[in-house]
Chains A and B, each alone.
Chain A
Amino acid sequence: GAGVSQSPRYKVAKRGQDVALRCDPISGHVSLFWYQQALGQGPEFLTYFQNEAQLDKSGLPSDRFFAERPEGSVSTLKIQRTQQEDSAVYLCASSRTTSGSRDEQFFGPGTRLTVL
């Protein structure tokens, strides 16, 4: 596709519900990232995939957060038993390869999650 796409763009969940956020990276991009952006803050790293392998999940805030990329393309970020503090914009980014400063991360528009 032309860029990174994310769905849904907006999600409202009641506290305790499970949610799934989808990311479609740019075709052929090896690396995929998830970031969490709280209101008025900079994005914070959640997790990183190289193809289907999850190489870094150090930013996931709790075991309620789970991410997968089973075929090395589309990725899903799942949040179980949502809490109000999970309310944020979740950004997905992809890059062509795995190293080098010229390897730009392209961001999607984000999914705004509101937990009531």
Chain B
Amino acid sequence: AQTVTQSQPEMSVQEAETVTLSCTYDTSESDYYLFWYKQPPSRQMILVIRQEAYKQQNATENRFSVNFQKAAKSFSLKISDSQLGDAAMYFCAYRRLIQGAQKLVFGQGTRLTINP
């Protein structure tokens, strides 16, 4: 079974600074998807960024980028120019590539605090 581990229960960063959230995963499969989700205090989960394992290029979405190290099974999220609205729980998630196998396997989450 696949597992996802987030070893940082809490992180904080000064507004406008850069912060990196860590995620490692365990799988025996060679093709899969990885995601970062944001869950603000209102609890609605929002997709931040996604990465296909077969792509070597790291995904980027505006201020959000990932460092995907397939051999190390590491998938970190970098947030640049942190904003107060970035404060939330962040979850790393894994999904198999197999047709129809869409369920997400989540990590435990990292609570990010932005200090003004």
Interface residues of chain A, those whose CB is within 8 Å of chain B, are 3, 31, 33, 35, 40-45, 48, 50, 55-56, 59, 89, 91, 93, 95, 98-99, 101, 103-105, 107-110
Contacts and interface: CB of A to CB of B under 8 A. Distances in A.
Given A42-B108, A91-B45, A109-B44, A33 B102 contact: yes
A105 to B, nearest CB: 7
Contacts of B44: 3, 107-110
A50 B100 contact: yes
Contact of B109 (A41, A56, A99): A41
Query: Helix, strand, loop or mixed for chain B's interface?
Result: loop
Nearest to A56: B103
Nearest to B106: A42
Given A45-B103, A101-B52, 18 more contacts: A31-B102, A40-B108, A40-B109, A42-B4, A43-B91, A45-B105, A48-B102, A48-B103, A56-B103, A91-B43, A98-B100, A99-B99, A104-B50, A105-B47, A105-B102, A105-B104, A107-B45, A109-B43
A42 B100 contact: no
A2 B33 CA distance: 26
Contacts of B42: 109
Interface core residue of A56, A59, A101, A104 (most chain B CB under 10 Å): A101
